[in-house]
Amino acid sequence: MGNICRSPTAEGVFRKLLEKFNQETDKAASLTELGWLIDSAGTIGYHEGSPADHRMKTSAAKRGYHLDSISRKVVMDDFLKFDLIIAMDRDNLTDLKSMANSERAEIRLLSDFLGDDWPTDVPDPYYGGADGFNYVVDMIESACPAILKRLIDSTEN
């Protein structure tokens, strides 16, 4: 929603996964040359211009992730600029779909890339304790490999 907890974490985790993938495969040059754009944004602008929540940064840093994005609100151009937009929960999914001005961007839930043992919505840890932030990182780490596979597969087709 506000782009200071869940989505900057997903951005940071995915960037690190892509960096590792690039180092370990022969596809490194071609993926870089494809000009993949990884970004995060919120459906509300309440925290616009702010860095990620310090508690989220702490949880992510313990696993080697650097969250350096600055909060911004989703804009109409995002639906043209990005091929895949991932919502953290059903409320944000509904908001994104109502904002979409193009059929170009595919809008999905993060849980679409997780197994059945995970909840449908990534819980917002903002009002909870450290365990909530760690759980969000767990969910995102679990989903990112499937997201990467999906993007690679769509690039190869």
What confidence score (pLDDT) does residue 25 get?
A: 77
Tell me if residue 70 falls in helix, strand or coil. strand
- Is the pTM higher than 0.85? yes
Half-sphere exposure (Cβ direction) of 24: Cα atoms closer than 13 Å? 6
Pairwise CA distance, residues 115 & 118, whole Å: 6
Burial of 23 (0-12, 13-18, 19+ CB in 10 A): exposed
The CATH number of domain 6-156 is 3.90.870.30: no
pLDDT tens for the chain, 157 residues: list them.
899 999 999 999 999 998 888 878 766 555 556 678 899 999 998 899 999 999 999 999 999 999 999 999 999 999 999 999 999 999 999 999 999 976 678 999 999 999 999 999 999 999 989 999 999 999 999 999 999 999 888 877 6
Structure-block tokens of residue 116 = 């059945």
Which is nearest to 118 in space by CA: 144, 96, 92, 100?
A: 144
Which is nearest to 51 in space by CA: 19, 110, 7?
A: 7
